[in-house]
Structure 1
Amino acid sequence: MKFTKTEKSWILYDWANSAYSIVTVTAILPIYFKSIAHADGVANATATAYWGYANSVGTLIISLLAPLLGAIADYQSYKKKLFNFFNIIAIISTLLLVFVPARAWLLLLVVFVISTVGYAGANIFYDGFLTDVTSTARMDRVSAQGYSMGYLGGVIPFVLIMLLQLTRGFGFLDSTGIVNFGFIMTTIWWLIFSVPLMLNVSQTHYLTPVPHIIRTSWRRVTRTFKTVWRDKYIVWFLAAYFFYIDGVDTIFKMATSVGADYGLSTTSLMLVLLMVQLIAVPFSVLFGHLANRIGNKRSIGIAIFIYLVICIWGYFMKSELDFWILAFLVGTSQGGIQALSRSHYAKIIPSEKANEYFGIYNIFGKFSAIIGPALFGIFAQLTGATKYGILSIILLFIIGGLLFIKVPSDRVSATK
């Protein structure tokens, strides 16, 4: 399947922001944060808990804003403006991480939370653009290709950071210098590869602007929430998504911190993350093909089952080999479950209100992500053992899987 210029430009943004989600959030920042927190006398399990809490705070902020922002973005020309605003906030705050003083771990968390809000906010509108750039019949493949390119795009800056770690900065950079280089590289990468979306993607489904847009948008959100609860196709999906995507996000966000608790070196963690990236590239595309053959619902169900296995494996994990196996399983399913969830939802909502509905989608996806990291942190802190934090996440997949069984699979939105 050949992609259009507009589809390619949309897909490339996954390539752009992957440097932040993979290099900064997963590979660099958790390890760096734990090192400076430990130097200030914070225990490993406690530092892991604080990292979980910071993720929860950032998620809470964007979750509360998402529905109103989405409703505003449905008006003509507002989607691109809001996307640009949050994208720039994220890029600038990522650069500001360079200037946080050594051992100022609390300030580091604050700047990280701001960058998370910008990143997640931009993604609300990025997801909403899916209905503008392609047709219903192509959504699964386009969405999956986006995630695939995101994983592939994360490999290049990730490999460079890994080389710097292995060569000790080629003799020019110490450990802090390597971390700061990672933040700077992420900023530049993100900015450059955001340009195609800014230039080539336009809002084709929209509402005519009205006076008092904020007040009107809030009223629309209230009405839409009432409408959503009467739509079985949307409500069952969102209820299931609320739980299972929280588990997916929590495992992703806590992965390197968990590996460090199990004694994996920074080099080993970097290699594991590289493997996950490389595996996720073909498997994201594979899930797109799978959905075309057996449908979204069955394909997402397969991914949920794999995550149940991941949680059980994580509880019994004892060796570095166990961690590699766990990471392999994550790589097979992470991109697929996210891509197909996004495209499934895009198919069952009205195109002209895509951002408002994706605002609700993000409430369920992002607001739920408060529970997972907090649940992980509480269990890890109370028991003093990371494995109980991992096991606690299985509850999210069990509940999400049971609810997902109730999701109807026979409707494509009549508005497409």
Structure 2
Amino acid sequence: MTEKNDKRMIRSWAFFDWANSAYNLVITSTIFPAYYAAITSDKNPDTVDYVFFMGRKFINSTLYSYAMAVAFLVIAIASPVLSSVADSRGNKKVFMKMFTYLGGIACCGLYFFEAETLQLSVVLFVLAAIGFWGSLVFYNSYLPEIATPDRQDNVSAKGFTYGYIGSVILQIICFVFVFFPGAFGLSGEGQASRLSFLLVGLWWMGFAQIPFKALPKGSPNFNRADKNVMTSGFKELQKVWTEVKRMAHLKRFLFAFFFYSMGVQTVMLMATIFGEKELELSTTKLIGTILLLQLVAIPGALLMSYLSKRFLGNLRVLIGVIIIWIGCCLAAYFVRTEYQFYALAAVVGLIMGGIQALSRSTYSKYLPQDSPDHTSYFSFYDVAEKVALVLGMFSFGYIEEFTGSMRNSTLALALFFVAGLIFLLTLRKHEPQSVAKV
């Protein structure tokens, strides 16, 4: 049994955020979206940018949305099976490694992304996303095993903080190559961008060795050893859902989380594409904006954890943050200048890390702390998030394709946040018990 609140173990666990957040920043938020937009655009603001994939014509940004939706759908289907295997054999660290190497190698493969290799590169992009999100299923499930309820807010925030710091360090290194390619013998911004994708894969797999060395492999649940692992994962989700329905507060929180997750990750994944298409911002300005967003997110995550612990509690902070998210989605519809975009990005950055860290720790606190099946509960949590993201990304792309404007898609995201807010408001008087004890 792993001793909880061990500083070395927590620090090693947090280094996985340090390792994989480089993917989240460089591939999903900054350099890759900007490079993708440049590769798939005809540079004419008066025309619609179309690309061909698997024999069908797509608007370039809708293909991007649909590709992410496919990745999330694969994770939503696969993670129950893999979690079942991990629980029955006590080897969840093996699957954490498997997804890490899948994502890291796919990122390295994106070094060869050019206009002629669009189809293969989109597939690698999907595989990288599957690797990132799949590894988080098992990473998150370690939280209640390494920290007691009164420390889980701080430990969760520590992970996100490590992630932001690590990703910004690599992002700055990549910026040097992108902004000054000639100084390193590179042919231009394009090759420098592709080099950044290679560095992300190496960084991710390299620093992941720290948690891989320190974290326990997982405790086997021998009661599942003789079951069909292809079906027992889904049966376990059904079992978890049956248990959740008897825990009214946890059920309401999950509904809230489901709806506002549709908005949070979709905003983060589409922000760069939005700036490029709707405001015609240059790659340099877009990258600088997202870097600002990440830098603001570091104190934002710590501030949310501090307010939750010292004054307001998790739910009140989440309610306030979601109200701000609604305002951001509405403001995005009216953004017309680059400075308005910068201001909006700063606000989003401040609340981005906080809502992720507090959502994870709030869910962890609502769980039965003595349960041996934390992986199953977090698999349910991650499946809920991935299904939400499938709907969020698909609706964002479809609304743009149907209406011809990404601005209309931001209004739909605001509605998702409103639905999440309604469920959270029903929990105002029911903070997790462990929060009340802090």
Q: For structure 1, list consecutive stretches of 5 or more residues without a partner in the other structure.
A: none
Q: For structure 2, list consecutive stretches of 5 or more residues without a partner in the other structure.
A: 51-58
1:287 to 280, 298, 304: 304
Matched AA of 2:244: V
Which structure 2 residues correspond to residues 33-112 of structure 1 after superposition, within 5 A?
33-39=36-42, 43-44=48-49, 46-112=59-125
1:122 to 135, 139, 158: 135
Q: Could you say which residue in structure 2 is the equivalent of 1:409? A: 431
Q: Could you say which residue in structure 2 is the equivalent of 1:305? A: 323
1:340 aligns with 2:358: yes
Alignment check: 8 A CA contact 2:93 2:218 kept: no
Which deviations, in whole Å up to 9, do the C-alpha atoms of 1:274-315 show, x marking residues without a partner? 111111111111111111121110111111011011111111
Evaluate the alpha carbon distance shift between residue 3 and residue 331 of structure 1 in structure 2; reply closer, same or farther with a 3 A threshold: farther
1:329 to 347, 350, 370: 347
Matched AA of 2:326: L
* 1:26 match: secondary structure: coil
Evaluate the alpha carbon distance shift between residue 177 and residue 133 of structure 1 in structure 2; reply closer, same or farther with a 3 A threshold: same
Q: Could you say which residue in structure 2 is the equivalent of 1:225? A: 241
Which deviations, in whole Å up to 9, do the C-alpha atoms of 1:223-262 show, x marking residues without a partner? 2222222221221111110110120100000011001011
* 1:123 match: secondary structure: helix
Question: How far 1:101 sits from its partner (Å)?
Answer: 4.7
Alignment check: 8 A CA contact 2:108 2:202 kept: no
Q: Distance in 1 between matches of 2:219 and 2:423?
A: 31
Q: Distance in 2 between matches of 1:311 and 1:221?
A: 32
TM-score by length of 1: 0.93
Question: How far 1:327 sits from its partner (Å)?
Answer: 0.4
Question: How far 1:102 sits from its partner (Å)?
Answer: 3.3
Q: Distance in 2 between matches of 1:25 and 1:318?
A: 23
Q: Distance in 1 between matches of 2:270 and 2:190?
A: 21
Which structure 2 residues correspond to residues 232-243 of structure 1 after superposition, within 5 A?
232-243=248-259
1:211 to 203, 214, 226: 226
1:384 aligns with 2:401: no
Evaluate the alpha carbon distance shift between residue 181 and residue 169 of structure 1 in structure 2; reply closer, same or farther with a 3 A threshold: farther
Which deviations, in whole Å up to 9, do the C-alpha atoms of 1:302-361 show, x marking residues without a partner? 110110111111111010011001100111111010001001111122341111011110
Q: Distance in 2 between matches of 1:269 and 1:260?
A: 7
Moved more, 332-341 or 108-117: 108-117
Alignment check: 8 A CA contact 2:90 2:218 kept: no
Evaluate the alpha carbon distance shift between residue 241 and residue 218 of structure 1 in structure 2; reply closer, same or farther with a 3 A threshold: closer
What's the % identity of the aligned pairs?
Answer: 30
Alignment check: 8 A CA contact 2:15 2:159 kept: yes
1:373 to 378, 381, 393: 393
Matched AA of 1:349: L
Matched AA of 1:291: S
Q: Could you say which residue in structure 2 is the equivalent of 1:198? A: 212
Question: How far 1:203 sits from its partner (Å)?
Answer: 4.9
* 2:40 match: secondary structure: helix
Question: How far 1:106 sits from its partner (Å)?
Answer: 2.6
Q: Could you say which residue in structure 2 is the equivalent of 1:6? A: 9
Matched AA of 1:59: F
Matched AA of 2:315: K
Which structure 2 residues correspond to residues 165-184 of structure 1 after superposition, within 5 A?
165-170=178-183, 172-173=185-186, 174-184=188-198
Alignment check: 8 A CA contact 1:72 1:213 kept: no
Q: Distance in 1 between matches of 2:264 and 2:233?
A: 31
Alignment check: 8 A CA contact 1:69 1:359 kept: no
Alignment check: 8 A CA contact 1:132 1:203 kept: no
Which deviations, in whole Å up to 9, do the C-alpha atoms of 1:195-222 show, x marking residues without a partner? 1110111156552362246154443333
2:144 to 131, 140, 155: 131
Evaluate the alpha carbon distance shift between residue 157 and residue 315 of structure 1 in structure 2; reply closer, same or farther with a 3 A threshold: same
Which deviations, in whole Å up to 9, do the C-alpha atoms of 1:108-163 show, x marking residues without a partner? 21111111111111000000011122111100001011111111111111112222
Alignment check: 8 A CA contact 1:15 1:154 kept: yes
Q: Distance in 1 between matches of 2:184 and 2:130?
A: 35
Evaluate the alpha carbon distance shift between residue 224 and residue 180 of structure 1 in structure 2; reply closer, same or farther with a 3 A threshold: same
Q: Distance in 1 between matches of 2:336 and 2:196?
A: 31
* 1:352 match: secondary structure: coil
Across the two proteins, how many residue pairs are aligned to each other? Answer: 412
* 1:140 match: secondary structure: helix
